[in-house]
Amino acid sequence: MMGRSMRKPVTVTRPFWQGVFPPDTLDYWAGLINPAWSLSRVRARVQSVTPASRDAVTVVLKPNRRFAGFVAGQHLAVHVTLDGVRHTRSYSPSRLPDAPECLAITVQRVPGGRLSGYFCDQAAAGDLIELGDAFGDMTTATHARHTLLLAAGSGITPFIAQLRELALSPRSGQESLTLLYWVRDRASACFTDELDALTRSLPGFRWQLRVTGDPADSAAASRLSAADLANWLGGRHAASAAVLACGPAGFVSAAHGLSSALGVTCLGEAFSPPAQGEAGEPVRVRLLRSGRELSIPAGQALLPALEAAGVKPAFGCRMGVCNTCACAMPEGVVENLLTGEVSQEPSSALKLCVSAARSALVLDC
Ligand SMILES: Cc1cc2nc3c(=O)[nH]c(=O)nc-3n(C[C@H](O)[C@H](O)[C@H](O)COP(=O)(O)OP(=O)(O)OC[C@H]3O[C@@H](n4cnc5c(N)ncnc54)[C@H](O)[C@@H]3O)c2cc1C
Ligand code: FES
């Protein structure tokens, strides 16, 4: 038997040019031949843009071979350069059974929003954008015997991605899957026909539209309430049930509170930044990489506070989910604005967008 020490060393062979030229240089030349080609980046070509509701479009993208794929329910960073400025936002992709080499994102217009405005008004077949890796935990719609999906506005997107996959390969062990979907008015609801069809093809699936901004609508409803969760849970045992919530930060935090009151596990993903705290006394921040020292208000998210002081940290979602803004904090006390937790331990990956200073800080950025 060949022992470990007798194995031939593994030789990694790469094309000679990868050792000679930096990846960006190779990308530049590859891009001159075909703008979608890249040796280090995931570039994707827009294939089509179609209305998904009055306020949203579905954009079909064909990524290059560097794309590592995703699990339905995850999200990925989408980078678009507009007027020379690179913008990054998170979107939840879904697969297209008819075009397995493509993925679709559905983007809802945010008034005054830069990227949603681009996708809804300007994006066209042939545009080239860049994608980041996929990540996120909103992938467990089938893990409990009874699952309640709570979506508000564009929070429907990780759920439709999972429902589509479930329709293709339903899993055993799940008895019920219920979706409650809140929208301001009926014209802003996406995927309604598809959801109706899923009630016929996906065993145990039911859904209800909740319209909050039109009292005359037959689906007129108020915001998420304790009664919604209690009615759904009924006589079921809390341990056999789970809630997944996706939408604005206030909606997700209400879902967490109401679920925990019933003893039901809740997994939430907010699509909007956390509420900003009151600006407190100024505190000193030392930035190790630039050697700068500056003063920012305690209690406010570090990312906008640093930006206001002229520092430009990298960012993606600005909501604590993508990790793009994370940097080490060797010293200081910070509050997590999503959970209210205060930490005075050094951190190797402090998310600047959802952390606020509670003392003077040292940051490795
Ligand atoms: C995990 C995750 C998944 C997501 N998935 C989806 C999805 O599948 N579909 C989807 O539609 N959305 C999704 N989102 C939301 C998405 O990432 C964007 O936040 C959304 O599209 C808005 O981006 P925008 O560039 O249009 O708006 P932005 O330009 O970021 O603006 C957002 C708001 O801030 C205001 N604003 C911007 N700049 C300023 C300023 N200087 N001063 C004051 N106000 C300002 C704008 O008017 C607007 O109201 C997701 C978010 C997360 C975190
Ligand atoms: S910008 Fe995404 S976690 Fe901070």
Structure tokens at 196: 């109706």
Where a domain ends, among 270, 301, 320? Answer: 270
Where a domain ends, among 134, 169, 202? Answer: 134
Q: Are residues 190 and 263 in the same domain?
A: yes
Query: What pLDDT score was predicted for residue 35?
Result: 65
Q: Are residues 152 and 261 in the same domain?
A: yes
Task: Look at 57-61, 121-125, 167-171 and tell me which has the smallest mean pLDDT.
Answer: 167-171
User: What's the CATH number where 360 sits?
Assistant: 3.10.20.30
Query: What pLDDT score was predicted for residue 341?
Result: 86
What atom in ligand 1 is closest to the CA of residue 107? 11
Query: What pLDDT score was predicted for residue 3?
Result: 35
> What CA–CA distance (Å, rounded) separates 241 from 262?
10
Query: What pLDDT score was predicted for residue 4?
Result: 37
Strand partners, 363: 287
Q: What is the pLDDT of residues 133-191, one digit of tens each?
A: 888 888 877 778 999 999 999 999 999 999 999 988 877 778 899 999 999 999 999 99
Instruction: Extract long-range pairs of 248-251: CB within 8 Å, 24+ residues apart.
Output: 248/152, 248/153, 248/155, 248/272, 249/273, 249/274, 249/275, 249/319, 249/338, 250/275, 251/150, 251/152, 251/155, 251/182, 251/223, 251/224
**pLDDT band for position 14 (cuts 50, 70, 90):** very low
pLDDT surpassing 80 at residue 23: no
User: What's the CATH number where 24 sits?
Assistant: 2.40.30.10
> What CA–CA distance (Å, rounded) separates 76 from 69?
10
Task: Look at 39-48, 69-78, 112-121, 226-235 and tell me which has the smallest mean pLDDT.
Answer: 39-48
Is 139 domain-assigned?
Answer: no
Q: Are residues 226 and 158 in the same domain?
A: yes
Work out how many domains the chain is built from and give that number.
3
Query: What pLDDT score was predicted for residue 9?
Result: 41
Give residues (CB < 6 A) around ligand 2. Answer: 315-318, 320-325, 351, 353
Distance 116 CA to ligand 1 centre (A): 7
Structure tokens at 304: 């906008």
For the segment 56-81, the average pLDDT, to the nearest whole number, is 94
Ligand number nearest CA of 90 is: 1
Ligand number nearest CA of 318 is: 2
Is 182 domain-assigned?
Answer: yes
Query: What pLDDT score was predicted for residue 291?
Result: 93
Question: Domain limits at 49?
Answer: 16-134
Q: Are residues 73 and 120 in the same domain?
A: yes
For the segment 190-206, the average pLDDT, to the nearest whole number, is 96
From atom 17 of ligand 1, which residue's Cα is the shortest distance away? 90
Structure tokens at 329: 């904090």
pTM of the model: 0.81
User: What's the CATH number where 235 sits?
Assistant: 3.40.50.80
The answer to whether the CB of 114 is under 6 A from ligand 1 is: yes
> Is pLDDT larger for residue 156 or for residue 6?
156
**Percentage of the chain surpassing pLDDT 90?**
67
> What CA–CA distance (Å, rounded) separates 361 from 115?
33
Where a domain ends, among 70, 100, 134? Answer: 134
Q: Are residues 174 and 242 in the same domain?
A: yes
Q: Are residues 75 and 175 in the same domain?
A: no
Query: What pLDDT score was predicted for residue 316?
Result: 76
Q: Are residues 30 and 120 in the same domain?
A: yes
Task: Look at 23-27, 90-94, 230-234, 256-260 and tell me which has the smallest mean pLDDT.
Answer: 23-27
